Structure formats: C-alpha cells, structure tokens
C-alpha cells in the first residue's frame, strides 16, 4: 500500500499542485525541493535522470513564487489568470534543447554539447512558469523501446526494477511513475510516449503530427516525430500539451490549426465524464490483437472495452487491413529518414570528434565510435533502403504502403469517432530480454507505429495490471482531435475510479529508497550474463 517514502507533496497531481500554490498551501520552492530531494535520493537506483540542475530550477521556482505573491496581492482574478503550470516541475527528455544546458539525446556523439538556444517548447514552458528540474534518460536518438539503448545506462521500471520502463522516452515515464515529477515531456516516433506510458502505468499522449513545434528538438524521423506529454492523470497531460501546442514559424511542419482549451473541455466530475460516453462510437480494430500479445494484456484491454460499452459507448468492430504491414513499412521509413537526419553528426561543428586523420577518416572514426549499436543498425538500414538500385523496392514501396495504412484509418473514421486498442502487446519486459533480437524489440511498437505513419493522435492510459504490471489502453483519434481523446481517456478514468488497481502504487517504490539495492546498470549486466 501507500508508502511513506514518497512525500505527500509529490503525490499530488499537477492540477492539484497548481491549486495549492494559488491557495498558498506551500510555495513553488518547497514543491521543487520535495521533488529534487526524492529524485536525488533515488535516482541511482531508478536511472531516470541524465542530470538534475537544482540551482537553475530553484531560480525558476523563486520567480514563480514572486509571480504568485504579486497575483495574490492583486486579487483572485490575477491568481486565476496565472498560467496553469506556474511553479510546476516538468521533466524534459534529453533531446529538448535548453540554452546553456547539455542535450545528448542519449548519445555519446553529443557528449558535452551545450545548447546555444532554447527549443520552442522550452520557451513556451518558460513563459508558462514551469520549473524544469533536469532532463531524462532515453534510447539513443529515440531509437528503441526499452531505454536500454542509452549511452548513459538503462532506466528501471518503478513497478519492477529488474524490468525496462519502455522507450524511447523511458526516463520521462519512469520519473513520473516514481513521483519525481508530476508531468514530463517525451517524443513519439513509433510509440515512444505511449508504450512507456503503458509499461509504467501512467498517461501519455502523442498528438497529431504538426501539433507541436519541433524547433530545437533533436530529430530522428522527421515525417513521424512528435512531442507530447506524460502525466499521472488525463487532466495533467492535457495541461502540459496545452502549454506547448500550436504553430511556430521556425518549424514549417507545425500546423496553423487552432488549439482548443483541452482542460476546459474535460468534465469536472466523474459522473459527467462517464456520461460523455453515452452514444460515443468507438471502433475496435481486430488487427490490433496481434500475434504475440500476452493473454493477460488482451484480457485487461477487452475488459476495458466492455466497461466502456457498459457505460454507454457503442463498440463497432473495424478493420485496418494493412496493420500487419505497418512494422515493415515503419522500419524502412524511420531508418531512411534517420540516416539522413544523423548525417549532421560530422565531428566538425559540434559534439564528439575523434580528430583522426583527414576529413573522411575523421567522419568514419567519429561516427563509428560515437554512435551506439542500434543507431548504427538503423543508419545502415536507412542508407541501404535509400541507396541506388534499392530506393524503389524499399523506400518508395514503403511510402506507397503508408498511403494504404493511412487510408485504412480514414475509412474507419468515416464510421466511428475514435478507435480503442491495446497500446503494447506485452507488459514491461525484463532487462536484456529483447536486446539480442532487434525484430522482437521492434514488435513492442506494433500497435502504436501505424498511428505515427498516419500522423494521428493517440493516448495511452492505464487499464489495470497483468502479472502485477501495468497494461495500457490506447485511444486513437482523427487528426487534430486530441480533445476528444482526452475526453474519452478522462471518461475511462471516471468509470474505473473505484477499481482496486487504481489504488496500487508502483511495487518497487520502497526498493528505490534502499541504498543497498542494485543500480539499473547492475541489473542489466546481471540479466545479460
């Protein structure tokens, strides 16, 4: 049950923290200190953070407290007008550039790189008064589904420290699940927000392609990458997306589409939220119950679908016939784009450089030793798929199949408002279980990557446990329809508010406070042996 190792302050949701800050129950400084104390005490055993910058965060917290104090003397209207995330700790995945701080994207090739400018979302969070305690671990260049491909060592799953948190945004997900922050930022190219959200038992949304500007984000696959929020409830995820969404001239792919007020569209009461399900038409794509799906996961997801139906939603079986081609299509398109994007790491302008011989020898040595195994694998795949004589057979073919995958979704959305599906075919897997078989690792994203290929929004929310580990339920929506996904996810929260599993905490929170317990790197090494 509830473990006293986690201070009360850090157990609150971000929207509860915001209300408490306005009431003056505690200060932004106290709120930050509670989170920093927990993170610095436990992170040796969790491995969620690549760095904590307490000094910079404390300066931001002081500014937030000053803004709060000024508003309090001005009156209730001034307090109400403050940004929702003022004084709230927000963790960033280590591929978000923040001026004057490092950003490695989990790679040795960016070791020591200090960002000369802020990412768009960093500017937006700064304006909102959010407090960034540090940056989180990730698979190198966001390539992976377990965070084991980080050059800086793995991250543990707070539910079982011998298991992965998912990936690539594993550090951001684990930090939220372990109460080190209430919310965090991740990126999702094939499932890298939704899959770790599912495996860590939290909420994670990948918005529509183009919803959030990627200016200042280290690129992986540019036609697929999208930024999104993690939170411990739907409202918190909605508040964080709100703070970063919208058009930015510096990212031509960020769309001039109005951003609705996501949180305002969420019903305040559970009853109202549950009632919103009446008449909702939800498609159940039969192809998403894939081969290799664990029976426990399928059972939880089907039970969730029945609960939605009992609450008044109309469940319609839909076909997405090209789903089975998603994995192959994705693993051509994403590596091809990555091989082009990662050409910039030349050992000349920034980042690691071997300083070996002439320029060509320097490229070969810098890139050969600066990139990790998975990144090299994908660069090789992508280069091959784009090379003369293979382009039509691989890359062009994949782009055509991508059209078919997108058309499947278009046809489904002519019949239903949203789709409901599993997020990941399995619960969190043990360290090293999939490291030697890249294809097995890639299968983790079978239910999430078609959504990226169609550019659609998707959200994962917890729907119970299988073998003591969290299972994620995914809602997939029409382009720009994040608001409906938040409402559906909120409705599911409401109808399961009394479920026993909702009161369970990550099982290994206590072990995080055991100074004798092993580090994630030691656990991975043992599992590998």
Residues lying near another protein in the complex (CB under 8 A) are found at 112-114, 116-117, 208-210, 223, 249, 252-253, 255, 322, 324-325, 327-329, 331-332, 339, 343, 347-353, 355-365, 367-369, 371, 376-377, 379-381, 383-384, 387, 394, 396-404, 406, 438-439, 453-455, 479
Consecutive H or E run containing 140: none
For 500, which DSSP code? Answer: G
**Cα–Cα distance between 97 and 221 in angstroms, integer?**
17
Which among 298, 328, 322, 320 has a CA at the least distance from the CA of 445?
Answer: 328
Which residues contact residue 479 at a Cβ distance below 8 angstroms, ignoring those fewer than 6 apart? 208, 209, 455, 456, 457
For 394, which DSSP code? Answer: I
**Cα–Cα distance between 10 and 136 in angstroms, integer?**
18
Of 26 and 325, which CB lies nearer to another protein in the complex structure? 325
Tokens at 270, concatenated? 């559970």
Of 384 and 501, which CB lies nearer to another protein in the complex structure? 384
Whether the link from the prior residue into 247 is cis, omega within 30° of 0, is no
145 near 36, Cβ under 8 Å? no
Of 299 and 380, which CB lies nearer to another protein in the complex structure? 380
Q: Give Cα 132 distance to the centre of its chain.
A: 16
Residue with tokens 């040795």: 108
Of 239 and 334, which CB lies nearer to another protein in the complex structure? 334
Catalytic residues: 93, 168, 192
Of 49 and 394, which CB lies nearer to another protein in the complex structure? 394
* Cα dist from 269 to 259, 260, 311, whole Å: 23, 20, 15
143 near 149, Cβ under 8 Å? yes
Quote the least distance from Cβ 132 to another protein, whole Å.
Answer: 21
Instruction: State the virtual CA torsion across 476, 479, 484, 490 in degrees, nearest 10.
Output: 40
Quote the least distance from Cβ 336 to another protein, whole Å.
Answer: 11
Quote the least distance from Cβ 302 to another protein, whole Å.
Answer: 27
Quote the least distance from Cβ 253 to another protein, whole Å.
Answer: 7
* Cα dist from 501 to 173, 248, 473, 484, 496, whole Å: 19, 41, 14, 25, 9
Of 111 and 522, which CB lies nearer to another protein in the complex structure? 111
Quote the least distance from Cβ 6 to another protein, whole Å.
Answer: 38
**Cα–Cα distance between 180 and 19 in angstroms, integer?**
19
Quote the least distance from Cβ 112 to another protein, whole Å.
Answer: 8
Of 369 and 519, which CB lies nearer to another protein in the complex structure? 369
Quote the least distance from Cβ 166 to another protein, whole Å.
Answer: 21
Beta bridge partners of residue 134, listed in sequence order: 52
Which among 310, 256, 312 has a CA at the least distance from the CA of 281?
Answer: 312
Tokens at 525, concatenated? 């090494």
């Amino acid at each position: 049950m509830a473990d006293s190792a986690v201070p009360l302050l850090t157990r609150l949701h971000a929207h509860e923290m915001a209300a408490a800050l306005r009431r003056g129950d505690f200060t932004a400084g106290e709120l930050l200190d509670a989170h920093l104390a927990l993170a610095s005490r436990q992170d040796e055993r969790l491995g969620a953070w690549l760095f904590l910058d307490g000094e910079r965060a404390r300066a931001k917290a002081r500014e937030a407290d000053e803004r709060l104090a000024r508003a309090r003397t001005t009156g209730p209207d001034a307090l109400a007008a403050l940004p929702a995330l003022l004084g709230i700790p927000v963790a960033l995945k280590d591929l978000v550039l923040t001026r004057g701080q490092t950003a490695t994207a989990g790679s040795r090739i960016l070791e020591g790189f200090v960002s000369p400018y802020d990412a768009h979302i960093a500017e937006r969070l700064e304006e909102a008064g959010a407090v960034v305690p540090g940056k989180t671990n990730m698979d190198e260049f966001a390539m992976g589904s377990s965070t084991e491909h980080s050059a800086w060592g793995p991250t543990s799953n707070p539910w079982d420290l011998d298991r992965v948190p998912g990936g690539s945004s594993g550090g951001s997900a684990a930090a939220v699940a372990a109460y080190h922050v209430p919310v965090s930022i991740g990126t999702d190219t094939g499932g890298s927000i939704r899959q770790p959200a599912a495996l860590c038992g939290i909420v994670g949304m990948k918005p529509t392609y183009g919803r959030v500007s990627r200016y200042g984000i280290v690129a992986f696959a540019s036609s697929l990458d999208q930024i999104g929020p993690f939170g411990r409830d739907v409202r918190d995820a909605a508040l964080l997306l709100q703070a970063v969404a919208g058009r930015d001239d510096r990212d031509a792919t960020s769309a001039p589409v109005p951003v609705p007020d996501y949180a305002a569209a969420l019903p305040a009461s559970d009853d109202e939220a549950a009632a919103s399900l009446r008449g909702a038409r939800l498609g159940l794509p039969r192809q998403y119950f894939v081969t290799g799906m664990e029976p426990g996961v399928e059972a939880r997801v089907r039970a969730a679908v029945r609960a939605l139906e009992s609450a008044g939603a109309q469940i319609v079986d839909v076909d997405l016939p090209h789903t089975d081609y998603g994995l192959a299509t994705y693993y051509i398109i994403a590596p091809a784009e990555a091989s082009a994007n990662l050409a910039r790491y030349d050992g000349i302008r920034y980042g690691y450089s071997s300083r070996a011989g002439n320029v060509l020898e320097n490229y070969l040595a810098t890139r050969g030793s600066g990139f990790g195994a998975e990144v090299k694998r994908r660069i090789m795949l992508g280069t091959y798929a784009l090379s003369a004589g293979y382009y039509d057979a691989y890359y062009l073919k994949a782009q055509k199949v991508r059209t078919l995958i997108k058309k499947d979704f278009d046809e489904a959305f002519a019949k239903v408002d949203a789709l409901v599906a599993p997020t990941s075919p399995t619960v969190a897997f043990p360290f090293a279980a999939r490291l030697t078989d890249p294809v097995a690792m890639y299968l983790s994203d079978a239910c999430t990557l078609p959504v990226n290929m169609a550019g659609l929004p998707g959200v994962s929310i917890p729907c119970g446990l299988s073998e003591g580990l969290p299972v994620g339920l995914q809602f997939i929506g029409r382009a720009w329809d994040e608001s409906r996904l938040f409402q559906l996810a909120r409705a599911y929260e409401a109808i399961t508010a009394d479920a026993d599993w909702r009161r369970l905490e990550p099982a290994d929170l206590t072990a995080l406070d055991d100074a004798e317990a092993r580090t994630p790197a030691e656990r991975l090494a043992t599992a590998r042996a």
